[in-house]
Amino acid sequence: MGEVLKNMPDSLLPYLSHNNRLDCIDFCEANMKGEVRNELDGKSVLSQLTADYALFRLNEASKMELFLLETGSQSDSIVCVIQTYGTDLCESIISFYSIVWQQLPVAKYLPESTKALAAHYDAELKVLTLESSNYLERPALEEQHEAVKVLIKLKWKDGTFNKI
């Protein structure tokens, strides 16, 4: 995953310079804390780096998960990027890229019926969890009921995510 991060376009992490990313990778590979000062004068941390997964904590309210999805051969791997924003109520954007960072259509890899508010990838189980909630759809009543969360778990198989 370190090589994938080294070649990632700067536009995906605009306030983390290329040298910052390289420093984070070097620190993690040396079993040190992968923390750097970003372009907004804050701290960003590469908190997890494995052969097929990386987790950046960009600031207190933003994180980016990147992971490789196998398609049959190493040169055909797909990079999935989850950018999550927020603290209490989070929103995620899921993107897919070729190994050389050409953007791929999301609809090709995720089932159409998956509308999510937040997403998270479990690197150990290799499961993508999408969380949706009716929090924003509820009327503002004095006696509101708790927000209903729906979790959809997906597993990568045969070049697409499928419900499990």
DSSP calls for the chain: -HHHHHHS-GGGSTTS-HHHHHHHHHHHHTTS-EEEE-TTSSEEEEEEE-SSEEEEEEETTEEEEEEEE-SSSGGG-EEEEEEEE-SSS-EEEEEEEETT--EE-GGGTS-TT---SEEEEETTTTEEEEEEESTTTS---TTPPPPPEEEEEEEEETTEEEE-
More confident residue, 22 or 133: 22
Per-residue pLDDT tens for 23-48? Answer: 999 999 999 999 999 988 899 999 99
Q: Is the pLDDT of residue 73 over 70?
A: no
Distance CA 32, CA 19 (A): 17
pTM: 0.87
What is the model's pLDDT at position 46? 96
Report the percent of the chain where pLDDT is more than 70.
85
What is the model's pLDDT at position 29? 92
